[in-house]
Structure 1
């Protein structure tokens, strides 16, 4: 990437404006709380957590990992063979996420999933897989007998089914559940790199790699189930991008179909993943001049076909996605998740949480965007975020809920001037460590 003074200034102005925005939202949230409004963010006002500075020798772990990543990450990303970069980026992302989590204690990796509101808590309630999907909606209403916990009842049946299948495969317990979440979040990183190379080129993917690995998003990978959801959605987008970028043939058609299957699966993990549709379409349509409209249409239709296959399979088993959405909306309307959280505040607080999750480098990259095909990745992700935000259904906790979008927003770092990238990379590392040390985050 070439450097330019105007671009650097735009980046600085964008980051300054974003920091001011987060500060104002924080102050408004504090004022609302003092006046009696329960934002249900524990004792914080943007991220869900409790302010509590805990400094111990364990902070040396993420400090060492982050320093090594800043010093050697860009050079390694530039020269490693492509396959090694994909595997190495996933491994490095897992190490970074685990190192951050362990700063708060050795039991931190399983602690978030031990909550009575999380998926593993409801796994023992599932007696028969044969009737699970057809009877799932019976337990969604909060006043129903043996109602699902908060997270389970607020998601499609596939989310709980994932942990049930893990348990039935002999991998039960919080340790395996945590491993699934961490592995999912880490394996989303190479998917982003594959998608960037398909839409733009390998040089851009290599430039983005250190930022995706070391982003503050890692705070919400170890361990929230959204890490696994991100894996499914990100690889779905990546496969569609690959299908549109390559020469026509059976392998590219299979990639398009596979992308649709994964995105269809994502619909049954989180209702919010439906907002990935603009990004899914963008990574295909952006290639229209090179591959022509007929090929674009073919890839899109194969992707839609793959999604519909998953919808049909769940419907045949007794779970209709739209009925699930309606039941969840009814539950949210009568519960505390929405009624005690003012939309007029969270429509801004959601964005503030997302800004902290992606970190200063991504924000700076957004300020440096140029009109190239690569820009559709962060812009398509932001379109999904906007849809999610304006629906009013998501109020708080977007630092983890928007992980499937945030990883693509990080692609904006490719537009940063090369000589400034290491500084921005360090800024993200510092922010992640400060948040981990200063807040008892729930995830």
Structure 2
């Protein structure tokens, strides 16, 4: 026996479909308006931060920055023809990446994305000259300048690190001992000089694109991860991958989080221990990386791993702190000693807290770019809606929101007054994930990301 729909039922269904389409269209229009407002706010925030910074400097209320909020200066002769290689790489990436995302298998796509990130990073850096890659590490305040004190007796150096902190270069005394030990180890096994550490920093930093994509794939599926990849490649934050040590921190944190995501999804104990080892090293690479734990914490909340994975992860996390403590470095003493040197320094401690509390987020806006600003409101709103409905939050909004919370905590602490163009790098990559909300191929937004990076490189001379 068959049943036939009455004309009334058909009309009702048609009306319901139309209402649903209208609601969906209205929702897209609302998201579009919110995104455009966010881009305007992005532009106003960046412009206002530079304008107020200029006024503070003229009033002699800025301690050392020539171009606040950046720890940089305007180029006396803005780049033109020297940007041609970087422009060519940018055009190629904007044109080709959306095609690769659609056509390549997953693993080749990851390799291609890493290669594209590496090419984009080096093209921007080499506009300053072929030797620029290692030049930032030649600064007398950088980690390589402190390697000489470690070379003969690394264990003795570690035991007395806190007591002799004032004797070391700026970046050595501003961080825990692990970054200096990493550079020392690279110097011991490599050819010497700063070129080898610079290469390692760039390779590790650019590889974070793969790690972040793997994490997104585990949480949200391959389609979302594919949409994320072009924006990870073209993010303006690559300007500070060559060559700031914070790019190395980015890679360590990203791979630690990716291993946690893999371990939670596959109940993989080895991945859990490996992820724990990398994440446990973060506070010993930089005191400012502690809030970055919000990102792997969000992954754990989303994935709900088994108890044995959590135990393995915690054991891995404990390994580095236990090792450093047994070898003579007590982390709380390091924090206290570094804070003492910070208070008497002529730099960060004398910068305006209230100006940089806002201006630091203008720098973060530059790092993530306008495409992320456009997508961020809808990404964060999706997390709020999921929380109200008690459903699983979308991964892009969850990861971006966790990273934003980390930056907010760090900014409120008052120890990140300036120089955040490098400090924000490990956080900014996770905020870029919000751009997965854009509908492919999104070449216009990818071009906006590229133009932002090119403009900063052409106009601003940075120490990193």
Matched residues, number: 425
Q: 2:103 aligns with which of 50, 55, 79?
A: 79
CA contact (8 A) 1:354 1:402 kept: yes
Residue 269 (structure 2) pairs with residue 253 (structure 1): yes
Q: 1:394 aligns with which of 416, 419, 438?
A: 416
Residue 132 (structure 2) pairs with residue 108 (structure 1): yes
**Which residue is equivalent to 1:283?**
299
Q: 1:328 aligns with which of 329, 332, 338?
A: 338
Equivalent-residue separation in structure 2 for 1:19 and 1:56 (angstroms): 23
Equivalent-residue separation in structure 2 for 1:205 and 1:40 (angstroms): 41
Q: 2:362 aligns with which of 341, 347, 352?
A: 352
Q: 1:133 aligns with which of 141, 158, 174?
A: 158
CA contact (8 A) 2:349 2:417 kept: no
Q: 2:328 aligns with which of 318, 322, 331?
A: 318
SS in 2 for 1:336: coil
CA contact (8 A) 1:353 1:397 kept: no
**1:56 to partner: Cα distance:** 4.2
SS in 1 for 2:62: coil
**Which residue is equivalent to 1:426?**
447
Deviations 1:314-350 (A, max 9, x none): 1111112111111111111111233320111111111
**1:298 to partner: Cα distance:** 4.2
**Which residue is equivalent to 2:33?**
9
More displaced 10-residue stretch of structure 1: 29-38 or 216-225: 29-38
Unpaired segments ≥5 residues, structure 2 = 1-23, 384-392
Residue 93 (structure 2) pairs with residue 69 (structure 1): yes
- Cα 1:66–1:200, aligned 2, differ >3 Å: closer, same or farther? same
Residue 120 (structure 2) pairs with residue 99 (structure 1): no
**Which residue is equivalent to 1:179?**
199
CA contact (8 A) 2:98 2:440 kept: no
Instruction: State the TM-score, normalized to the length of structure 2.
Output: 0.88
SS in 2 for 1:440: strand
SS in 1 for 2:162: helix
SS in 2 for 1:50: strand
Deviations 1:362-387 (A, max 9, x none): 11120221233312110111111111
SS in 2 for 1:234: helix
**Counterparts in 2 of 1:397-416, with a 5 A limit?**
397-416=419-438
Q: CA RMSD in A?
A: 1.6
**Counterparts in 2 of 1:82-231, with a 5 A limit?**
82-126=106-150, 127-141=152-166, 147-231=167-251
Name segments (4+ residues, structure 1) moved above 6 Å. Answer: none
Equivalent-residue separation in structure 2 for 1:38 and 1:336 (angstroms): 11
CA contact (8 A) 2:190 2:196 kept: no
More displaced 10-residue stretch of structure 1: 298-307 or 99-108: 298-307
Residue 62 (structure 2) pairs with residue 57 (structure 1): no
Deviations 1:256-280 (A, max 9, x none): 2211110111221111111112211
Which structure: larger Rg?
Answer: 2
Equivalent-residue separation in structure 1 for 2:172 and 2:461 (angstroms): 23
SS in 2 for 1:286: helix
CA contact (8 A) 1:8 1:417 kept: no
Instruction: State the TM-score, normalized to the length of structure 1.
Output: 0.92
**Which residue is equivalent to 1:306?**
316
Unpaired segments ≥5 residues, structure 1 = 142-146
